[in-house]
Amino acid sequence: MKRPSFQFYPADWLRDTALRSCSMGARGLWIDMICYMHEGNPYGHLKVGNKVILPTNLASMAGAALQDVKGWLDELGQSGVFDSLPDGTIFSKRMVRDESLREIRAAGGKLGGNPALKVNLEDNHKVENEVKQKSTPSSSSSSSFSVNTNICPPDGGPEVKIPDCDHQGVKDLYHLHLPTLRKVEVWNAARQGYLRQRWREVATELAQAKPIDGKDVLAWWAQFFRHISQSKFLVGKVNNKDGRAFTADLEWILKPSNFAKIVEGKYHGAH
Is 85 part of a structural domain of the chain?
A: yes
One domain, residues 96 and 135? no
10 Å CB burial of residue 64 (0-12, 13-18, 19+) is: middle
Residue 125 has pLDDT above 70, yes or no: no
- pLDDT given at position 124: 46
Mean pLDDT (the chain) is 78
Q: Which of 39, 67, 100 is the C-terminal boundary of a domain? A: 100
State what percent of residues in the chain have pLDDT above 90: 35
* pLDDT tens column, 12-57: 788 888 888 899 999 999 999 999 999 888 888 999 877 899 999 9
Omega before residue 86 within 30° of 0, cis = no
Which range is least confidently modeled, 19-23, 81-85, 98-102?
98-102
User: Which residue range forms the structural domain that includes residue 253?
Assistant: 113-263
Q: Show the CA angle centred on residue 237, arms to residues 236 and 242, nearest 5°.
A: 80
When mean pLDDT is compared over 5-19, 101-115, 197-211, the highest value belongs to 197-211
C-alpha R_g of the chain = 21
- Name the domain count of the chain: 2
Reported as type and span, the H/E element at residue 102 is: helix 93-106
Is residue 107 a part of any domain in this protein? no
Contact of 191 with 250, CB cutoff 8 Å: yes
Q: Are residues 122 and 235 in the same domain?
A: yes
Helix (H, G, I), strand (E, B) or coil at 48: strand
> Could you tell me if residue 4 is inside a domain?
no
Determine contact, residues 79/18, Cβ cutoff 8 Å: yes
Residue 104: the pLDDT is: 56
For 205-222, write each residue's pLDDT tens digit: 888 888 889 998 999 999
Q: Containing H/E element for 13?
A: helix 10-15
Residue 125 covered by a domain: yes
Residues 125 and 77 in one domain: no
Q: In the listed set 100, 121, 140, which residue is the last one of a domain according to the structure?
A: 100
Grouping H, G, I as helix, E, B as strand and the rest as coil, residue 225 is helix
% residues pLDDT > 70 (the chain): 76
Is residue 95 domain-shared with residue 118, that is, in the same domain?
Answer: no
Q: Which of 4-8, 99-103, 250-254 has the highest mean pLDDT?
A: 250-254
268 within some domain: no
